[in-house]
Structure 1
Amino acid sequence: MTAPALYVCVRPQQNAAEAEYESFRQAMRLEPDRLDRIDLVREPLPPDAGERWRAFVVGGSPFNVSDPESTKTDVQKRLEADLERIAGWAASAGAHVSAFFTCYGIGIVTRLLGGEVTRAYPEDTGPVTVSLTAEGRRDPLFGGLAERFTGLTAHKEGTGRLPAGAVLLATSQTCPVQAYRVGDRLWATQFHPEPTAKAFTERMAVYRDDGYFASDDFEAISGRVLAASVTEPVRSLRAFARRVLVDQPPAA
């Protein structure tokens, strides 16, 4: 039997990918047999993925959607096309699958659906204050969260213009689009909703020399992350799991 949900990895660094899977699984409170995984860096999305899984959670990546196409590797181009397939399924009218895209993934959704991905709104590695919009306070995933909460970010690009029909759910002072919803089955966040503060610092160690922050600042930034309370973002993933997986029959 196929698990009802699939974690989609788009990280070349396997140790970071393993830890990210565990962060998603624990945040969603799913046993391993309820959350499959696939590594799109090393294998393509199966053609029948839309029939095999009814929910997808997409992790982050050091890739950038806004990189010039001429600089992207064949692997990046292929996995972006696969992610667009998932986003398209969840955004379509009468969709039968749901998806939650995070960080790098929000750029995939934004570009696919006609919004703007820009380098104008990067955020430093570490905690930021995220504020819910009026629509966010009514959203089935975000409505149960505090109106202002701390999220963890590290990104070089962001959404400059929402796709047509998208509903803005959350924003921050430095990045105007922190989360949005399309229809009733597709969510995307700029911040990372899945890691604990400790897990985030472990991920920081993997990307210490990748330009997200000065490597000499690692200890200071780690201290700020570990001092932050990040209890709210995981609740959106927990709500996603309840909404799309609980009280539904298992996939055949």
Structure 2
Amino acid sequence: MKPFLVIQLRPEDEAADGEYEAFLKKGGLAPDRVRRIRLDQAPLPALALDDYAGVIVGGGPGCVSDDPAEKDPIEARVEADCLSIMPEITSRDMPFLGCCYGIGILAHHLGAEVSKARYGEPVGPVECRVTEEGARDPLLEGLPPVFDTLVGHKEAVQALPEGTVHLMASGPCPFQMIRHGQNVYATQFHPEADGQVFADRIRIYKNRGYFDPSEAEALTRRVMDSDVTQPERILRRFVTRYG
């Protein structure tokens, strides 16, 4: 049984470890079925994608749309490393699930605009709707047509990338989940996150520009009180389908 490749971008140990544990728990993955790579610690090594059942890319505080001249050198390398594997993933239709930052990487690779012009969402739960195409997708079929997800992003995809299918939308952000080919997926929301995961991130990223730091306590209460149970089923289905 091939392992999944989990690529992480978060430079904070607590945030990266929490995200990794959430991927394992919500995806139903045993540690011996995963190869974990933290790009903040070392450049992406040479990879043979044939060795993996699929690739999962986590989120992070960086933005694809930030001015390259102003990016931290490690952040710039992390982004370049992620983008370097996308041509092979999309050309081969390799099972891929990009979470939050991953949708920016996929859309940017496909030539679509990713920017802060519109569709940023504050930290917290948001109601998402499954599109007609989404209702027929294997990862979403049979899920409720409307359910809450957890989000928090400064940038977003501004128009549907060419060659992709629009699977989910929210009022503030139309492109919450897309698919390229049959097996390359990306979400703007966090399919691995629950209230506690987000509460931890609110504390860790309190001063990273996602929200006014004075709102941290209220945001923490809001995410802890949220009823977000459906997104993890998407992650679990991805693992089950391709594992």
- Normalised by the length of structure 1, the TM-score is 0.92
Q: Distance in 2 between matches of 1:139 and 1:85?
A: 27
Aligned twin of 1:29 = 28
Runs of 5+ unmatched residues, structure 1: 246-252
Report % sequence identity.
Answer: 41
What is the CA-CA distance between 1:89 and the residue it aligns to? Answer: 2.4
Please tell me whether the aligned partners of residues 150 and 194 of structure 2 are also in contact (alpha carbons under 8 angstroms).
Answer: no
Aligned twin of 2:132 = 134
Aligned twin of 1:159 = 157
What is the CA-CA distance between 1:207 and the residue it aligns to? Answer: 0.5
Aligned twin of 1:233 = 231
What is the CA-CA distance between 1:106 and the residue it aligns to? Answer: 0.8
Tell me if 1:41 matches 2:27: no
Q: Distance in 2 between matches of 1:146 and 1:191?
A: 16
Residues 53-202 of structure 1: pairs in structure 2 closer than 5 A: 53-92=52-91, 94-95=92-93, 97-119=94-116, 120-202=118-200
Tell me whether 146-155 or 79-88 shows the greater mean CA deviation. 79-88
Query: Aligned-residue CA RMSD in angstroms?
Result: 1.4
Aligned twin of 2:217 = 219
The residue matched to 2:158 in structure 1 has which SS? strand
Aligned twin of 1:210 = 208
Q: Distance in 2 between matches of 1:179 and 1:226?
A: 24
Corresponding residue pairs, total: 242
Q: What per-residue deviation string (whole Å, max 9, x for no partner) do you get for residues 66-118 of structure 1?
A: 001111233222222221233322211x43x3110011121111111011112
The residue matched to 1:161 in structure 2 has which SS? coil
The residue matched to 1:129 in structure 2 has which SS? strand
The residue matched to 1:142 in structure 2 has which SS? coil
What is the CA-CA distance between 1:219 and the residue it aligns to? Answer: 1.5
Q: Distance in 1 between matches of 2:204 and 2:33?
A: 27
Aligned twin of 1:6 = 5
Runs of 5+ unmatched residues, structure 2: none
What is the CA-CA distance between 1:49 and the residue it aligns to? Answer: 4.0
Aligned twin of 1:250 = none
- Normalised by the length of structure 2, the TM-score is 0.95
Please tell me whether the aligned partners of residues 135 and 141 of structure 2 are also in contact (alpha carbons under 8 angstroms).
Answer: yes
Q: Distance in 2 between matches of 1:164 and 1:170?
A: 16
Aligned twin of 1:248 = none
Instruction: Tell me which stretches of 4 or more aligned residues in structure 1 moved more than 3 Å.
Output: none
What is the CA-CA distance between 1:150 and the residue it aligns to? Answer: 0.4
